[in-house]
A and B are shown apart, each in its own frame.
Chain A
Amino acid sequence: MNPRYLLLALVLILGLAPLALPPYYVTLLNYIGLYALVVLGLVLLTGVGGMTSFGQAAFVGLGAYTSAYLTTAEQLPAWLAWAGSSPWLSLLVGVILTASVALLLGALTLKLSGHYLPLGTIAWGLSLYYLFGTLESLGGHTGVSGLPSISLFGLLLDKGEKIFYLIWVILLVAIVITQNLLNSREGRAIRALKGGQLMAESMGVNTFRSKMVIFVISAVFAAISGWLYAHTQRFVNPTPFGLNMGIDYLFMALIGGVSSVWGALLGAGILTMLKQWLQDLLPHLLGNTGNYETIVFGVLIVLLMQRAPGGLWPMLVGWLPARWKMRRAAPAVDLNAAALPRRELPAHGQKILEALHVTKRFGGLVANNDMSLAVHSGEILALIGPNGAGKSTLFNQLSGVDTPTSGDVLFMGRKVNGLSSRQVAHMGLSRTFQHVKLLPEMSVLENVAIGAHLRGRQGVMAAALHLERREEAELLNEARRQLERVGLGDCLYEQAGSLALGQQRILEIARALCADPCLLLLDEPAAGLRLKEKEALGVLLSRLRSEGMAILLVEHDMDFVMGLVDRVVVMEFGQRIAQGLPEDVQKDPAVLEAYLGGVE
């Protein structure tokens, strides 16, 4: 069954609802819509980006109070007077204000590790709440009343069943925008935030920017919801913007299913209905009135997290018969899309990467001592050595993940130590990881397309409105081309996590190639590969070499290394003990001693 029909049915039902339902339910639906808009932002932030916020209610409050103040104040400062004339203008001010606050708070907390953000959100959520309650000009705890209704094309939306349409249209537009954004180049970067930040940075993604993008979007959704709320109620006071509501928003997202856009709607619906029902029921059971529904909510969340941490939406989808299921619309490749422009590869034999006397100390431990090596274009250099020799440490310093204590790393003659892995990626270095780093839930094609991140230009706005479809098609086509090149052309649409380990390593090479690099750093590419796969990998690497690519690889499989590479550098205890042609290195006494022990 086509998901479009379901969506159409939903729109139809919603469109008719106010005509058929009594006003009480229309009001309830209005609330569900308002809440779902906030929760949608949380799905983006928490479910997709892996960041938790308890402060969304404060953003709702910012939107609501900005509009309330501007549209009711008797004397606005002259430079702001224009904003008080219509709720639409005050919405603009509210959104700008909220986005600025979100940018400031994001700058403070988003670079920090996981739990600072939620704690930070709790703190400023409370601060803003108290601020609403304290500021005289915002009416203190009594609030602001007498807000005008919103008018649209001359139609005054002064009744619940009229504003209903505005609320739900805005919500549906927000859902569409969110889904568009997630299915794009920017969206892939955002989806990599949860569990793939190191990898994404190495592919040139600015993860901080991606975090900021979804943080601001979620804040703006919340502010718009607040604006709608304020002009639906035509009255605001601090209570609905307190931390308790912030917690409720998060609970809605969790109950519905925090990783899916429709979970937001489901969660907002369930929690709102449940709250109504419990508020009627519990006082009867317990004999006196109070907010006892919180007990049930708390226990419910605990059980949910223990039993079904994914929320209810994935469970519901799981129960549906297979043919009904909305196949996650994996973007298909347009084979006719134009090829992306390519980097001009340096002339054959030119020095690409050079390490000069690189030393790395971790406290007293010297992991790399005075290491020097050079890689030229059209050459494969192998870095070998026993376990613990410091190969991966050196790799990290070459690729910008780590900085040498002393010594220099030169890339195309430019000093790169101290630069981030993102900047190094920009210059044409691409790498794979010793422990495979990919996004298991995403399709193979999309995983590889992350590699092409730097070859696209279109930003968030274009993605949200799907104005970048041509570039997107080109990026995906490039990913397909690279996948076919490495021999994974048959599993474009499979989940990356379902591949065998060897295939996942190959996928990483395709991803690295997608960046169109001039230097490829491969960390144990042949580990876990079967013989045939190894042979194919050898052929691929030889072909890349003949095209002029420079390749540096760390590898333990000596048969693979010795038959393939041009030169070998051998490390032991952080130092270079030998370098040269494979056959010479094999006879080197120092190497023999390192690998086999001394000759007695």
Chain B
Amino acid sequence: MNFQIAMLLGQDGMTNGAIYALLALSILLVFTVTRILLIPQGEFVTYGALTMATLQAGQPTALIWLLLGLTLIDCLLDLWAAARANRAFAFPKRILFKLGYALLIAGLIRTLPLAELPMAIQALLTLALVVPLGPQIYRLVFQPIASASSLVLLIVSIAVHVSMVGIALLLFGPEGARTAPFSEAGLELGPVTFNSQTLWVLAVSLGLIVGLYLFFERTLYGKALRATAVNRMGARLMGISPTLAGKSTFLLAALIGTLSGILIAPITTLYFDSGFIISLKGFVGAIIGGLVSYPAAALGALAVGLIEAFSMFWASTYKEIIVFTLIIPFLLWRSLTRRHVEEEE
């Protein structure tokens, strides 16, 4: 291996690592606030990438049917809850907003000349399509069992993942997709050429991490979410709605996932079922961070990306094995430093 190759691999590793870091952060966020290990995090990545590819091909994506369908069920549940409430029937006005949003997006997708749109608009449309799925999934799947044991939540999370992969196959087909790069230019620094997409990924990831930091440190909503993560019951007694906290974390998770998908779609070919492995690598990062520390999780995920890139060079067939056995030393370390018998919640 010479310097050139090392730089190339390093670049590759950094790009993937940055994405894994984003996913690890979002997994950690969802876990601390809701106790849900969000296995379907990777599906948002594939949904984002594949939707972007469909839009660039000029096809009105079938995903709109999923959005419409979930919105409809959501609205019906709202109506049902309003009808069953003890007080006089009050029409839940947010239904109009939800339905209106879904129909508006559907209208846009049907009428706009998708392939000719500037890439930024395509990316926005993709976000507008995929991100609402996050809070909807929370509403339909997790909200009714929000107080269940964390193992039940994990199992349901896996079930959602399994369904979403099947739906992705139905909506996007078995072919892989790759989108056009954001820009063609590269950056030359001495002997090294940086791929422009790599720079995009790093810049956007960094921006998102700073944005999240500001959100959690400086805004009231951010602090409310942090409070929920620290002590669910206490936050609830202070008037922070657990439902709202759940929906907002899922919104953030879907946003991060979709954005990651849009970012890596020009570099990697993604298939309907690629999301799982991607989010698992985010999980490896989160586990390295002990499922508590954000910086440790981000660094861990970055390390996963780098190790993956370099093991691709030395032992390409064993790449996945190396990455997934990586957590064993960390589990060992955690297991040795822990001593008390833990009571189930």
Say if A and B assemble together: yes
Other contacts beyond A116-B334, A301-B156: 6, CB < 8 A: A108-B331, A115-B151, A116-B331, A195-B344, A290-B174, A295-B166
* Most chain A beta-carbon neighbours within 10 Å: one of B160, B162, B325: B162
Q: Does B111 contact A (CB under 8 A)?
A: no
B144: chain A residues at CB < 8 Å are 306
List residues of B (128-163) whose CB comes within 8 Å of A's CBs.
141, 144-145, 148, 150-152, 154-156, 158-163
| Bound Cα distance from A291 to B343, whole angstroms | 40
User: A122-B280, A302-B156 given as contacts; is B166 within 8 A of A291 (CB)?
Assistant: yes
Q: Does A109 contact B (CB under 8 A)?
A: yes
| Bound Cα distance from A107 to B341, whole angstroms | 15
A208: nearest chain-B partner, CB-CB: B341
The answer to whether B154 and A305 have CB atoms under 8 Å apart is no
The answer to whether B141 and A302 have CB atoms under 8 Å apart is yes
| Bound Cα distance from A243 to B155, whole angstroms | 14
A123: chain B residues at CB < 8 Å are 280, 284, 324-325, 327-328
A201: chain B residues at CB < 8 Å are 341
The distance from the CB of B341 to the nearest CB of chain A, in whole angstroms, is: 5
Q: Does B189 contact A (CB under 8 A)?
A: no
Top 10 A-B residue pairs of the complex, sorted by shortest distance between their CB atoms: A298-B163, A295-B166, A301-B159, A294-B166, A298-B162, A123-B324, A127-B324, A298-B159, A130-B320, A111-B335
Q: Does B184 contact A (CB under 8 A)?
A: no
Chain B residues within 8 Å of A, Cβ to Cβ? 37, 141, 144-145, 148, 150-152, 154-156, 158-167, 169-170, 174, 276-277, 280, 283-284, 287, 291, 317-318, 320-321, 324-325, 327-328, 331-332, 334-335, 338, 341-344
The distance from the CB of A569 to the nearest CB of chain B, in whole angstroms, is: 27
B39: nearest chain-A partner, CB-CB: A122
| Bound Cα distance from A160 to B158, whole angstroms | 34
The distance from the CB of B79 to the nearest CB of chain A, in whole angstroms, is: 19
| Bound Cα distance from A290 to B171, whole angstroms | 12
Q: List 7 A-B contacts (CB under 8 A).
A: A50-B151, A115-B37, A115-B151, A197-B343, A286-B170, A292-B170, A295-B166
| Bound Cα distance from A299 to B170, whole angstroms | 15
Q: Does A309 contact B (CB under 8 A)?
A: yes
| Bound Cα distance from A295 to B159, whole angstroms | 9
The distance from the CB of A108 to the nearest CB of chain B, in whole angstroms, is: 5
| Bound Cα distance from A78 to B266, whole angstroms | 53
| Bound Cα distance from A388 to B141, whole angstroms | 42
**Mask: chain A, 100-123; 1 = CB below 8 Å from B; 0 = not:** 000000011101111110111011
The answer to whether B148 and A113 have CB atoms under 8 Å apart is no
B327: chain A residues at CB < 8 Å are 119-120, 123
A110: nearest chain-B partner, CB-CB: B335
B317: chain A residues at CB < 8 Å are 134
A215: chain B residues at CB < 8 Å are none
The answer to whether A305 and B151 have CB atoms under 8 Å apart is no
A195: nearest chain-B partner, CB-CB: B344
| Bound Cα distance from A74 to B325, whole angstroms | 31
| Bound Cα distance from A52 to B150, whole angstroms | 11
Q: Does A375 contact B (CB under 8 A)?
A: no
Q: Does A207 contact B (CB under 8 A)?
A: yes
Q: Does A247 contact B (CB under 8 A)?
A: yes
The distance from the CB of A310 to the nearest CB of chain B, in whole angstroms, is: 11
The distance from the CB of B26 to the nearest CB of chain A, in whole angstroms, is: 16
Q: Does A126 contact B (CB under 8 A)?
A: yes
A105: nearest chain-B partner, CB-CB: B328
Contact of A112 among B154, B325, B331 (CB under 8 A): B331
The prevalent SS among residues of A at the interface is helix
The answer to whether B159 and A198 have CB atoms under 8 Å apart is no
The answer to whether A197 and B321 have CB atoms under 8 Å apart is no
List residues of A (250-301) whose CB comes within 8 Å of B's CBs.
250-251, 254, 286, 290-295, 297-301
A300: chain B residues at CB < 8 Å are 159
| Bound Cα distance from A52 to B277, whole angstroms | 20
The answer to whether A294 and B344 have CB atoms under 8 Å apart is no
The prevalent SS among residues of B at the interface is helix
The answer to whether B150 and A298 have CB atoms under 8 Å apart is no
| Bound Cα distance from A118 to B280, whole angstroms | 12
User: A130-B320, A292-B166 given as contacts; is B37 within 8 A of A119 (CB)?
Assistant: yes
Contact of A294 among B165, B287, B324, B331 (CB under 8 A): B165
| Bound Cα distance from A299 to B166, whole angstroms | 11
List residues of A (193-249) whose CB comes within 8 Å of B's CBs.
194-195, 197-198, 201, 207, 243, 247
User: A122-B280, A123-B284, A305-B148 given as contacts; is B332 within 8 A of A108 (CB)?
Assistant: yes
B291: chain A residues at CB < 8 Å are 115
Contact of B320 among A46, A115, A126, A305 (CB under 8 A): A126
Contact of A131 among B170, B321, B328, B334 (CB under 8 A): B321
The distance from the CB of A405 to the nearest CB of chain B, in whole angstroms, is: 15
The answer to whether A120 and B331 have CB atoms under 8 Å apart is yes
Contact of B283 among A119, A286, A292 (CB under 8 A): A119
The answer to whether A112 and B321 have CB atoms under 8 Å apart is no
The distance from the CB of A435 to the nearest CB of chain B, in whole angstroms, is: 10
The distance from the CB of B328 to the nearest CB of chain A, in whole angstroms, is: 6
| Bound Cα distance from A421 to B339, whole angstroms | 12
The answer to whether B162 and A297 have CB atoms under 8 Å apart is yes
The distance from the CB of A390 to the nearest CB of chain B, in whole angstroms, is: 19
The distance from the CB of B169 to the nearest CB of chain A, in whole angstroms, is: 5
User: A198-B343, A298-B166 given as contacts; is B150 within 8 A of A108 (CB)?
Assistant: no
The answer to whether A118 and B283 have CB atoms under 8 Å apart is no
A286: nearest chain-B partner, CB-CB: B170
| Bound Cα distance from A302 to B158, whole angstroms | 9
The answer to whether B325 and A290 have CB atoms under 8 Å apart is no
| Bound Cα distance from A295 to B341, whole angstroms | 39
| Bound Cα distance from A530 to B163, whole angstroms | 54
B280: chain A residues at CB < 8 Å are 122-123, 126
A306: chain B residues at CB < 8 Å are 141, 144-145
| Bound Cα distance from A122 to B165, whole angstroms | 17
User: A108-B332, A305-B148 given as contacts; is B284 within 8 A of A250 (CB)?
Assistant: no
The answer to whether B335 and A112 have CB atoms under 8 Å apart is yes
The distance from the CB of B281 to the nearest CB of chain A, in whole angstroms, is: 10
B159: chain A residues at CB < 8 Å are 251, 297-302, 305
A402: nearest chain-B partner, CB-CB: B340
B326: nearest chain-A partner, CB-CB: A123
Contact of A305 among B152, B163, B165, B343 (CB under 8 A): B152
* Most chain B beta-carbon neighbours within 10 Å: one of A46, A111, A207, A254: A111
B325: chain A residues at CB < 8 Å are 123-124, 127
| Bound Cα distance from A302 to B152, whole angstroms | 10
B344: chain A residues at CB < 8 Å are 50, 114, 194-195, 197
User: A116-B287, A118-B154, A194-B344 given as contacts; is B163 within 8 A of A124 (CB)?
Assistant: no
**Mask: chain A, 42-73; 1 = CB below 8 Å from B; 0 = not:** 00001000101010000000000000000000
The distance from the CB of A115 to the nearest CB of chain B, in whole angstroms, is: 6
| Bound Cα distance from A214 to B304, whole angstroms | 32
| Bound Cα distance from A297 to B151, whole angstroms | 18
Contact of B341 among A130, A207, A290, A297 (CB under 8 A): A207
The distance from the CB of B124 to the nearest CB of chain A, in whole angstroms, is: 29
User: A286-B170, A291-B169, A309-B148 given as contacts; is B321 within 8 A of A127 (CB)?
Assistant: yes
A130: chain B residues at CB < 8 Å are 318, 320-321, 324
| Bound Cα distance from A294 to B169, whole angstroms | 10
B342: chain A residues at CB < 8 Å are 113, 197
| Bound Cα distance from A46 to B154, whole angstroms | 13
B165: chain A residues at CB < 8 Å are 294
* Most chain A beta-carbon neighbours within 10 Å: one of B167, B284, B321: B321
B324: chain A residues at CB < 8 Å are 123-124, 126-127, 130
A291: chain B residues at CB < 8 Å are 166, 169
B154: nearest chain-A partner, CB-CB: A118
| Bound Cα distance from A126 to B323, whole angstroms | 10
B164: chain A residues at CB < 8 Å are 298
| Bound Cα distance from A567 to B144, whole angstroms | 53
The distance from the CB of A201 to the nearest CB of chain B, in whole angstroms, is: 5
| Bound Cα distance from A107 to B321, whole angstroms | 20
The answer to whether B335 and A107 have CB atoms under 8 Å apart is yes
